Amino acid sequence: MVRETVLTPDSFIYPLFVHAGAEAVEIASMPGVRRLPVAGLVAECEAAWAVGIPAVAIFPAIAPELKDARGTHGLDVRNVLFAAVREVKTAIPGLTIVTDVALDPYTSHGHDGVLSADEKEVVNDETVEILCELAVKEAEAGADIVAPSDMMDGRVGAIRAALDAAGFENTIILSYAAKYASAYYGPFRDAVGSKIGKDAISKATYQMDPANAMEAVREIALDEAEGADMVMVKPAGAYLDVIRTVREVTDLPLAAYQVSGEYSQIHAGARLGWLDYERTRDESLLAIKRAGADMILTYFAREVAEKLARA
């Protein structure tokens, strides 16, 4: 009766990976998570919908031979993401579909945009032009929410203008407004195939310094002014203070992404016998909600929703 924070399935956005292959592929660094063929993705979405999860976020894993320095396959009509969105929307019209707006699944260098001539940084404005085209194509395929995760300056306003011009005034923008250059993203990069070589690439020229909290407030204000409908803090677990700070300065719906490294370390600790898997999993999600997140992107979404349905 006096519990202040409650987890419910409608708090979750379920991240899923899709590829053009015929079979599901296990992701070694993310136990229990797989790259799914389109048919398997539809089935997983149906299972999530059945236990009350209202939204999924779909990320494509693209074959290496389709990647190039500019990420041109992202705009190709044969992009598996577009096919996946259409199939899921046809099968489950009520399910909200979130799509990622960034070039890292499609670039041969693994960065979120086009590199400068010396390959030392991502070129902001040229990247934003491509992201606008990608967002419109995702909306055309049936995405309800487009989520720019690239952290380019000015991209929210540009995407809003592009969507409106294309007749998608009602397509929602969920901005990765406070996305940190975090060490917790490694398993995700394995999942989408954006990890190039043995060493992690640095995205510190466009993602945020983990030392900064007030910068998040400025980033949120900028994206809100440009027309973001929702904002996100990423990662979640190591940035609970940022979630709380952002919650206090914006009335927009606030999402937080419990990223791949957070998910995998709970699995790893439990496999070593050092953590109670279910209790640690549930506590980690409760902490994110308690900090102020309205929505949580988490790979635990389906299993926790199933547990809640049994309760």
What number of residues does the chain have? 311
Give the containing element (helix H, strand E) for 71: none
Give Cα separations from 109 to 64, 105, 119, 209 (angstroms): 11, 10, 9, 21
Mean pLDDT to the nearest integer, 24-38: 96
Sign of the dihedral through C-alpha 52, 177, 16, 165:
positive
Report all structural domains of the chain as residue ranges with CATH numbers, in order of start: 9-310 (3.20.20.70)
pLDDT band, very low/low/confident/very high, at 198 (cuts 50, 70, 90) = low
CA 6 to chain centre: 23
Q: What's the pLDDT tens digit per position in 111-133?
A: 999 999 988 889 999 999 999 99
pLDDT band, very low/low/confident/very high, at 171 (cuts 50, 70, 90) = very high
Percent of the chain with pLDDT over 90: 92
Give strand ranges (E) for the chain.
12-19, 25-26, 34-36, 55-61, 96-101, 145-148, 172-179, 230-234, 254-257, 295-297
Q: What's the pLDDT tens digit per position in 207-240?
A: 999 999 999 999 999 999 999 999 999 999 999 9
Distance, in Å, from the CA atom of 245 to the CA atom of 87, rounded to the nearest integer, reads: 39
Closest alpha carbon to 226 in 122, 124, 141, 154: 154
Selected catalytic residue, list 179, 195, 203, 289: 179
Mean pLDDT to the nearest integer, 148-174: 97
Selected catalytic residue, list 67, 137, 203, 234: 234
* pLDDT greater than 80 at residue 200: no
Q: Which residues contribute to the annotated binding site for Mg(2+)?
A: 219
Mean pLDDT to the nearest integer, 25-47: 97
pLDDT band, very low/low/confident/very high, at 193 (cuts 50, 70, 90) = confident
Q: What is the mean pLDDT of the chain?
A: 95
Q: Which residues contribute to the annotated binding site?
A: 219
Model pLDDT, residue 120: 85
Model pLDDT, residue 289: 98
Coil, strand or helix at 302: helix
pLDDT band, very low/low/confident/very high, at 1 (cuts 50, 70, 90) = confident
Q: What's the pLDDT tens digit per position in 61-101?
A: 999 999 999 999 999 999 999 999 999 999 999 999 999 99
Closest alpha carbon to 245 in 294, 179, 209, 291: 291
What values do phi and psi take at 41, rounded to 5? -60, -45
Contact between residue 261 and residue 187 where contact means Cβ atoms under 8 Å apart: yes
Q: What's the pLDDT tens digit per position in 94-109?
A: 999 999 999 999 999 9
Contact between residue 256 and residue 297 where contact means Cβ atoms under 8 Å apart: yes
CA 221 to chain centre: 20
Mean pLDDT to the nearest integer, 285-292: 98
Residue type, 6: V
* pLDDT greater than 80 at residue 196: no
Mean pLDDT to the nearest integer, 7-16: 97
Residue 234 is a catalytic residue = yes
Model pLDDT, residue 195: 67
Model pLDDT, residue 119: 87
Residue 89 is a catalytic residue = no
